[in-house]
Structure formats: C-alpha cells, structure tokens
Amino acid sequence: MPYPSGRHFLQIPGPTNVPDRVLRAIDRPTIDHRGPEFAQLGKQVLAGLKKVFRTSQPVVIFPASGTGAWEAALVNTLSANDRVLMFETGHFATLWHEMARRLDLRAEFVPGDWRHGVDPAAVEQKLRADAQHEIRALCVIHNETSTGVTSRIPEIRAAMDRARHPALLLVDTISSLASIDYRHDEWKVDVTVAGSQKGLMLPPGLSFNAISEKALDASHSAKLRRSYWDWQPMLQSNESGFFPYTPATNLLYGLREALQMLEEEGLPNVFARHARHGEATRRGVRAWGLEVNCADEREHSNSLTGIRMPEGYDADQLRAIILDRFDMSLGQGLGKLKSKIFRIGHLGAFNDLMLCGALAGVEMGLRLARVPHRPGGVAAALEHLAQTAT
C-alpha cells in the first residue's frame, strides 16, 4: 500500500494533536537545569499552571504519565489500610482502584454501568453512613476518557459538605483540564491529577498534582512509602524554580508555549470551543441514528464522544477500515466496552474544519463497513457549527 498523502487524522481522545508552535518550542537546545535560565522557565510554568487549575495553591510537575500523578495523589495523602471511596465510572476509574488496592488501601468500589458519572446522592449516602469518618478520601474521575462521561464535581463537593464529612477529594482531570470548566479552589478539591497529552496539547511525559492546604497537611502524617513521588522535596526545589531531580526540560519549553496559547485564547473561550464541538459531534451521531454512550444529558463530555455500535457490529472492525482507507485513528473501546464503542476525540488543538473532516471520515467508514445508519450526520454537525459560529 502506498504511503498516504496529507496529514494523519489523530482523533483519539489523547494523546492529541501537538500544535506547530508547541513543537517548535520543544525543538530548542537543552539548557542547564541548574542554571538561572532554567529557574526562570520553572517559575513561569508553575505560575501558568495555577491559572489553568484555577488555584492559588501549589502545583507540582512530575516527569511521568498521568498514572504517576495518580500514585502521587494517593501516597502523599494516605496510609496503609486507610479506607478510600471510589466509583466504577469506566476503565480508568477501574485502573485507579486497582492501584489503590496494590498500595494496601481499603478501596470500596461502587459498581457502575460505564454510562453514568458519579452519583452525588450516592456519595452523600455513603459518607453519611460513615459515622466514624473512617473514609479518608473520595477519588473521582472528572471526565472518564473510556466512556465520554463527565462527573459533576460541584454537585459531588456539595454532597460531601451536606454530609459534613472530612474526607479528602481527589479528582482526575487528565482528559478535562484545559478542555472542560474546572475550578480546583472554588470546588474545594484537595488533589487534582492531570497529564500533559490532552487539553494541554503536549506529548505525553508530564503529569501534575494541584494540592490544597488540607492535602498538604495530610501529607505530613501520611505513612504510605514514597520517594520519587514525594511532594516535599519537589515543593522545596520549586520555590526557586528548580526540581529535585532532572526535569523534562524540552517538554517544559512546550508547556510554557501551550500555557501562552491558552492564555491568548482565554480559558472561557477554550471551554466554549470544546462545548460547541462536543454538541456538534453528538448531533452528528444522533443524525446517523446511532447512540451516544453517555446516558445522562447533564454528563456529556466536551472532550470526546463515545459512540455505541448497533448490536452485532464490531467497533474495532469499523476503526480498522477507517484507518486503512482514510488514515484516521479513532479511540477504541476499553475494558467492558471493547469492540462495543468507538470514541472520537475533539479536544486540545482542534477547530471546526478538523471536526468536519473527522465526522466525514466516520460517515464514509460507516458506509464502507455496512453499519446500519442514516446519512446526514456530517450535515447535522455542520448546521450546528454554522449556527454557532462567531
């Protein structure tokens, strides 16, 4: 098969497309990570991240994937045999739960159907039943990348407050930060987990913890073993713009540029753009006569859309046809949803024409794969984009 012409369409929900500006920023000579130029870079990115997390509290950067930030959030705040409350909202919630168990935490995993987010009423019920306050932390995936479902963090926080429970609130924003409205301080989140490869428009390799005062206090008495993930040496070095071990210098160049791009667009505009593209995608899916995986209108993700296949049809076969014929990658179904759904990522460095191309590739693929559908999904999305264009 000849090499395909044109650019590859990367429509998975992360890693996302890396903008040329960020690529050019990364492609700079590496500098001395103990020198004054690096100290300036370190201070700039740490200050810029606070704006994105909407916090005045510290944010730490680890050279790691988001999985590393999961572990950092747990080991810095908890001790062996601590009770932790978690909810089965999808594949990544399941993985975080498995990590908690491996770290010798007593992690209660509330079952879910992978089509709904965390139920605030269930949170309140569970916490009210814990009269002795044995539950030390509630762990929530804000935007479940495997399902296209966004949990309602403000309502979950309100449920915790009504229950008057002191549990820490740990939130994964790996596929929502800089894509979906998120407010670390206002929503009283204790640790926010994030990664570089989605809304921040960077390659994989950086992960983040935003840390509340309450979480920092908990870290002083937490007994889980930690060394690489320890917040304390990181925070001490960060005060002067440095890191306790060799940082990912060139990725930090890219992070500085990505933060500048987000500031230029303005976070409210970034969130509105993602919401517009999410709605256009869902209108396209419904016009095809297919079903969006998220079952609650209040929880639709603006980062990605999960699309359920008709009974008897394989999502992975459809994805393979689309990749072969149109050089476009779509997200696969993970865990319980393997082969049952495919996912369209519409986050990060993304615009109207990119969405139109992605939806056109899906519509042509549905036809080639003989998946039962109605034509007109692209047209429905175009109509919404045209009506909401500014």
Using the predicted structure, report yes or no on whether residue 20 has a pLDDT greater than 90.
yes
The mean of the pLDDT values for the chain is 97
What pLDDT digit, counting tens, does each position of 191-226 carry?
999 999 999 999 999 999 999 999 999 999 999 999
* Helix/strand/coil (H/E/C) assignment for every residue in 28-95: CCCCCCCCHHHHHHHHHHHHHHHHHHCCCCCEEEEECCHHHHHHHHHHCCCCCCCEEEEECCCHHHHH
Q: What is the pLDDT of residue 327?
A: 97
- 8-state DSSP, 246: -
Q: What is the pLDDT of residue 3?
A: 75
Q: What is the pLDDT of residue 113?
A: 98
What pLDDT digit, counting tens, does each position of 81-124 carry?
999 999 999 999 999 999 999 999 999 999 999 999 999 999 99
What pLDDT digit, counting tens, does each position of 300-346 carry?
999 999 999 999 999 999 999 999 999 999 999 999 999 999 999 99
Please give the full DSSP string across 353-377, using - where no structure is assigned: HHHHHHHHHHHHHHHHTT----S-H
Both tokens of 35, joined, read 């020198």
Look up tokens 């929503």; give the residue: 187
In angstroms, rounded to a whole number, what is the distance separating the alpha carbons of residues 108 and 96?
12
Global pTM value: 0.97
Using the predicted structure, report yes or no on whether residue 1 has a pLDDT greater than 70.
no
Mean pLDDT of 74-83: 98
**Which amino acid, one-letter code, is at 377?**
G
What pLDDT digit, counting tens, does each position of 142-184 carry?
999 999 999 999 999 999 999 999 999 999 999 999 999 999 9
10 Å Cβ neighbour count for 157?
21
Beta bridge partners of 318: none
In angstroms, rounded to a whole number, what is the distance separating the alpha carbons of residues 144 and 182?
14
Closest-CA residue to 16 (of 252, 176, 124): 176
End-to-end CA, the chain:
42
